Chains A and B, each alone.
Chain A
Amino acid sequence: MNNSVIIIVKLKTKDPVSESAFQCLTGEMDYQASLQSLTRYDYWDIQVSPGIDRLELGRYLATETKLFVNPNKHTFEYHLAESVPAAMERAASGEHIHRLLVRDNEDSKGTEVLHHLHRLYNLPDKIMAVRSGVLWILRIKAADPDDAQSIAREIAMTRNRKSGLLANPQSQTISFGLTTF
């Protein structure tokens, strides 16, 4: 969305979800050679009314409401939707970073947060929509970028027991790469 501010939130502590997913992909499935690391972020896409200072609103939402970030357990950053920085992880040589965003088709979490923002924080005229999502960052070892990309796609899209884990395409949508966000 072009009139959105993005809040990206990460746990300060170890993330058991990404650890278990990584263990499953490399221990139970066949990605031990390719998948080097897996990191998970909460990804909030907040669509703002025209004319609002999006960054200022992003700061307010992240620091003044308790709906996105708890400073005791989270670190966060916020960006204009069109300028989310590309690299949040570093790749060694022969490695490729792939980012993918998984969203529920029926986003009850986003709806709930929107409801709170409107009712508790009196922001109905500023915020049009909230979409929640999970941003996964995969560090993949592969011969070339195309290869890495197809592995990332495979890991994301669950087709059967052998193939894919991070999203069930029957109830979730996956966006690959930055531009499609």
Chain B
Amino acid sequence: MNDRMVQVNQMRSDTDLAAELRRLGIGMTVSEARKVVSILGRDPTIVELFIFDIEWSEHCSYKSSRKILKKYFSFEASNVVLGTGEDAGIVDFTSVNGIEYAIVIAHESHNHPSQVLPVEGAATGIGGIVRDVDCMGAHVCAVADGLRFGDPDGTFKPRTRWILNGVVDGIWQYGNALGVPNLAGDVYFDSSFDDNCLVNVVCMGIVPRNRIIRSRVPEGAKTRDFDLILVGKPTDASGFGGVTFASEILDEKEDDRTIGAVQVHDPFLKNILITHKANRMVWDLAFEKGIPIGMKDLGGGGLACASSEICSAGGVGAEIHLDRVHTSMENLPPEVIACGETQERFIFAVPPEFTDSVLNIYNSVWELPKEANGACARVIGRTLRDPRYRLFHNGELVCDAPIHEITSGILYDRESKPLHWEGREPADTRMDITDALSMIMASLNGCSRHPVYRHYDTEVQGCALIRPGEADAGIIVPLFHTHGSRAGIALSVDGNPFIGEIDPYWSGAVAVAEAMRNVVASGAIPRALTDCLNYGNPEKSGAFWQFEQGVRGIADAAVKLWQYDTDREPVPIVSGNVSFYNESALGQAIKPSPIVACAGVIRDAGKAMTLHLKEPGNRIVLIGDRRDEMGGSAYYRTCFKQTGTQSVTVDFERERKDMHAVIALISRNLVRSCHDISDGGLLVCLAEMCLSTRNPPGLGAKLIVPGNITISPERYLFTECGGFLLEIPVSQIELAERIAADFDSESVDLGEVISRPEIHIVQHERTLAQISMTDIHRKWIGILKEYIS
């Protein structure tokens, strides 16, 4: 281990060492490099330095965030099968034909790559999250995405539109080809995302509880060595340095520097590996023969990260021969083979007698080498009972470190200091209601998302019951074809980016409440949460404070909006991701953006709700308080170009009772349509209930603003406090009110569905507005088309 050593010890000067690290392309700090020396007791090799660099990156080690996450996210719930810590979290789903099925869910960000290479960034984002779920032994059955783009009419108009279109293309080109339906998502535009778009991806799967594959080497490896098998695409230089890249501030001028960080996607190969094909054949054979196996996907940090983590988790070491890794480029340096992030790869740990079966499945049955451009399965090493992590390259030892030191990461205490919000209230907040509604529905953040999601395959696998645009959450029935089960899973993704600046705590809490409300409005019961926490530079006290507040808000909401029909069990957070350094070279950070996904279960998906009005004469019922909290609202932003000062909040007690009441009402078949109140407030909610992308507007509503409200009608109609609008037949109204009261929730009869496509707003028998839905529909459906082209 001589010629490729980095002489850290000899460099007394921190400046020299820093320069040397930069020269090598290593992102770690000088003190971190010195820490490596103290762990190893000698100078590191280049390979070792790269491995520690990656393992100690923010992306892999959560070095800035881990303490905060641990402090606030330490609650438990009895439906959790597997919490955070592995590639994906797992919660109970349903039992059918004696098999207990669980939901597997994971949530990641792929922000930085998507800014530089929108198509590849978004595609590999989907690809990575799908691997995370697949490698738990799951059948992948849905993806969703939370997207944030800059202002497509702003300073960086061409670039922003290029990113928007590229990301949408990347998502469809990958997800559609893979064969996983795109079930949910949201899209927002704001100039704070000009330099840092957000591409958050969620993936969901199902697995029988007794067939979960763990991301760890099985117990048996403590008494005999297991083979380590690498499966998938030949390794190349793509994605080398990707993790460090993900944890740095983007400087667009350095596009070229990031060449290595480009990850090249191959959904074709992924399709052969997952979706009931080659991987499943391995799992089925292993279970059939009772052979213990471990499996992990290769994501950030590539082979080094995945192999060290799978072995360390199993309490064993590893010996890997980098020259046995199949590559598609000549003479790759060992650090690239070890740390490059070539896509579409998995690692298996299997007992040696099973090895041939695994190789046969990939190389012969599915003919990967021939059909998939040289992909294959190869034995690259074995587990060691000695807990060392050893890498060889052409016979030379290039890494030899205690495996736990590699995987345990490092921790930082970051300074947290509140930022003061300098927002202003608009001088005059009165506006004609018709004009205000038209402006909001025709705004970029208020118009239909159909021009985006029409590119996504929302129906592949044949299990979609509610697609994007039909309700607040998407619903699939993944066990119907195989078991005749009507049990459905609802999925929603949410996170209003306009609250975070005003109050980062409430932006976290509101994101949870909204994601859960979406699931509730579709008729399902929220059972699990995931989060992706997108913030600025954690080394800046203000950004770190925003992060900390967001986490606190999420935790409070998850605990206080506890699960329906349980004894105050929180809705568990089973997977998550932190994305820091979303900051431009000029120091402009994104709006604090916690993005939350919620998975819900509906026992009989035949009862699932859509948001469109169904029948004239039915009553329109409001559940949910209307408080004067206009900060960040579409009304303020769109109509007055101001953000305001009072953020939307969550009245946890009230919100929980309301959600539980709505769950009960829907499950008793009393409701014909339901939509949650969030962006745009009550009136936008009602307008959306009148608008479909498949139909010209037909039905409308007469809306009676209660006479006893304490705020102005505009504020009542546009405040974005949470709530629900429900369409309930007259004959069921009394029963519905009684049931709501049983939950200590309040329902307010606001009017009725009418057979004309208009919203007629009345207070004290005086018309406040009479709004044609036909006009609104045209704008609402057309605006985004202008940008997606």
Contact = CB atoms under 8 A, between A and B. Distances in A.
Do the two chains touch directly in the complex (Cβ atoms below 8 Å apart)?
Answer: yes
Contacts of A66: 158-159, 162
A120 B160 CA distance: 11
Nearest to A117: B158
B236 A14 contact: yes
A70 to B, nearest CB: 6
Contact of B117 (A27, A73, A116): A73
Interface string B325-338: 00010000000000
A115 interface: yes
Q: Which of A67, A73, A115 has most B Cβ within 10 Å? A: A73
Contact of A120 (B161, B238, B256, B258): B161
A56 interface: no
Given A65-B158, A120-B158, A72 B256 contact: yes
A150 interface: no
B266 interface: yes
Interface residues of B, number: 22
Contact of A14 (B157, B159, B262, B373): B373
Contacts of B42: none
A104 to B, nearest CB: 18
A12 B255 CA distance: 15
A12 B157 contact: no
B316 interface: no
Contact of B120 (A73, A116, A120): A73
Interface in A1-55: 12-14, 16, 19-20, 23, 27
Contacts of B256: 71-72
A72 B373 contact: no
A73 B158 contact: no
Interface string A66-90: 1100111100000000000000000
A64 to B, nearest CB: 9
A147 interface: no
Contacts, number: 44
A67 B370 CA distance: 33
B10 to A, nearest CB: 36
B471 to A, nearest CB: 32
A50 to B, nearest CB: 26
B750 interface: no
B162 A72 contact: no
A115 B373 CA distance: 36
Question: From DSSP, what is the main secondary structure of chain B's interface residues?
Answer: helix
Contacts of B120: 73
B150 to A, nearest CB: 14
Contacts of B158: 65-66, 116, 120-121
B454 to A, nearest CB: 16
Interface in B131-175: 157-159, 161-162
B370 A27 contact: yes
Interface in B239-292: 255-256, 258-259, 262, 264, 266, 268
Contact of A72 (B117, B157, B328, B789): B117
Contacts of A12: 259
B236 A16 contact: no
B590 interface: no
B227 to A, nearest CB: 28
Contacts of B264: 13, 73
A14 B372 CA distance: 13
Interface in B160-202: 161-162
Given A13-B236, A14-B328, A19-B373, A72 B258 contact: yes
Nearest to B157: A120
Contacts of A115: 789
A112 interface: yes
A13 B238 contact: yes
A115 B361 CA distance: 48
B116 interface: yes
B47 to A, nearest CB: 23
Contact of B116 (A16, A20, A65, A72): A72
A57 B159 CA distance: 19
B255 A71 contact: yes
Contacts of B262: 13, 72-73
A137 B159 CA distance: 32
A20 B370 CA distance: 9
Contacts of A72: 116-117, 255-256, 258-259, 262
Interface in B735-773: none
Contacts of B161: 116, 120
A70 B159 contact: no
A107 to B, nearest CB: 15
A112 B789 contact: yes
A118 to B, nearest CB: 12
Contacts of B370: 23, 27
Given A72-B256, A116-B158, 9 more contacts: A13-B236, A13-B262, A14-B373, A16-B266, A16-B268, A23-B373, A66-B162, A73-B262, A116-B789
12 contacts: A13-B262, A14-B236, A14-B328, A19-B373, A23-B370, A65-B158, A71-B256, A72-B116, A72-B256, A115-B789, A116-B789, A120-B157
Q: List 5 A-B pairs, minimum CB-CB distance, nearest first.
A: A120-B158, A66-B162, A19-B373, A72-B262, A13-B264
